[in-house]
């Protein structure tokens, strides 16, 4: 017993002084722990939404169950213009003329059932159908492509809302493409529709629709030609005898006028030269240069140099041809239309993730 009170005999090798709570992997100070927990919660949220919706859709597809559901839905359609159980009709454009549904507060046949069902996809440019308590929202309709350079592409429809209790929001419709310019700039693409909001508790927001592409700009258009500028005068009608021929005159430059652009004038021909005394060299006159063209117009042609003819020992030298005029600068092409804005992502549920915003449309290329 006395050994129990002798400190030198106490065994310490088996004693662990580390607090027991340090062995728990709580990661209170780890900034990534919260993100990992949130990701796990989001994964569970989508698993639950997909599982519940998948089971419900399988039940609705059963031939025997569908007969019962049809009988159950009839009074709801008659009174409210909307089913209790079932998916909305894709592209529905009708009206709700039921007893109470004409008030507009109960939706229509494009929406999912009050209790269960997915919303139908929207018609062109229209919003997708909303779900009721449980179900996914319908996708928004695509925006129509523009058919006029002065009009932008159509806006995509918004995605339908997910079920109040559980369901994902619908995807926003893509915006329509802009029109290619004919004699001017292309039109802008339409904006994508917003993603639908998810259910209050479980579900993710819908992805926003992509913006429409802008239309291509038209090619540059040169002004209408309206004849040529003045041609240069010829050096002379008759050959120069025992003398050098005169040079032809230069053509004048073209110019813009009220009726269009003018091409540069043609240069005048050089005068011919003739030597018959055997001493004087025959030198033909140089041809005149063509005038420069106005914007978008052709330059004038250079003229022929004068010919030379000599007898006996004299030398004959023909005149140089005139230089052609420079063509006018080309006209710049028109700008392409702006791409449409991407739609906003839908609001998330309590446990789900928010929708991703849509991608903006590409701007149309300039000519």
Active-site annotation, residues: 304
Three state DSSP letters for 155-167: CCCCCCCCCCCEC
**Quick check: helix, strand or coil at residue 36?**
helix
Instruction: Give the count of beta carbons closer than 10 Å to the beta carbon of residue 234.
Output: 21
Q: How far is CA 346 from CA 127, 230, 319, in A?
A: 13, 69, 81
Q: Which of 115, 119, 105 is nearest to 84 (CA)?
A: 115
**Quick check: helix, strand or coil at residue 317?**
strand
Tell me if 206 sits within 8 A of 169, measured CB to CB. Answer: yes
CA angle 114, 53, 357 (to 5 degrees): 90
Tell me if 157 sits within 8 A of 189, measured CB to CB. Answer: no
Q: CA-CA distance, 344 to 155, in Å (whole number)?
A: 13
Q: What are phi and psi of 260, to 5 degrees?
A: 135, -175
Q: CA-CA distance, 198 to 202, in Å (whole number)?
A: 7
Q: How far is CA 203 from CA 55, 56, 59, 199, in A?
A: 16, 16, 21, 5
Tell me if 157 sits within 8 A of 126, measured CB to CB. Answer: yes
**The two three-digit tokens of residue 65, written as one number:** 């169950």
């Amino acid at each position: 017993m006395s050994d129990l009170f002798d400190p030198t005999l106490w065994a310490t090798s088996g004693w662990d002084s580390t607090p027991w709570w340090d062995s728990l992997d709580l990661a209170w100070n780890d900034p990534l722990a919260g993100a990992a927990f949130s990701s796990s919660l989001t994964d569970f949220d989508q698993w639950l939404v997909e599982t519940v919706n998948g089971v419900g859709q399988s039940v609705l597809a059963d031939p025997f169950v569908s007969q019962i559901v049809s009988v159950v839905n009839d009074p709801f359609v008659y009174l409210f213009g909307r089913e209790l159980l079932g998916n909305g009709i894709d592209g529905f454009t009708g009206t709700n003329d039921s007893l109470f549904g004409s008030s507009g507060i109960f939706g229509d046949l494009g929406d999912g059932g009050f209790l269960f069902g997915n919303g139908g996809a929207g018609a062109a440019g229209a919003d997708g159908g909303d779900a009721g308590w449980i179900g996914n929202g319908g996708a928004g309709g695509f925006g129509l492509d523009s058919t006029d350079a002065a009009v932008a592409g159509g806006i995509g429809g918004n995605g339908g809302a997910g079920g109040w209790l559980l369901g994902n929001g619908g995807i926003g419709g893509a915006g329509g493409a802009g029109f290619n310019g004919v004699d001017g700039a292309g039109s802008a693409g339409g904006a994508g529709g917003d993603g639908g909001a998810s259910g209050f508790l479980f579900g993710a927001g819908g992805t926003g629709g992509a913006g429409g592409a802008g239309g291509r700009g038209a090619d540059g258009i040169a002004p209408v030609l309206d004849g040529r500028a003045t041609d240069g005068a010829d050096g002379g009608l008759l050959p120069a005898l025992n003398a050098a021929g005169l040079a032809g005159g230069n053509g004048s430059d073209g110019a813009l006028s009220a009726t269009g652009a003018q091409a540069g004038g043609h240069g005048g021909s050089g005068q011919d030269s003739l030597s018959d005394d055997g001493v004087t060299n025959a030198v033909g006159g140089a041809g005149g240069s063509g005038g420069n063209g106005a914007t978008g117009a052709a330059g004038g042609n250079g003229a022929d140099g004068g010919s030379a003819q000599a007898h006996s020992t004299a030398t004959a030298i023909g005149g140089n041809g005139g230089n052609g005029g420079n063509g006018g600068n080309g006209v710049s092409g028109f700008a392409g239309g702006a791409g449409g804005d991407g739609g906003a992502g839908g609001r998330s549920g309590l446990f789900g993730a928010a929708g991703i915003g849509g991608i903006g449309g590409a701007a149309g290329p300039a000519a």
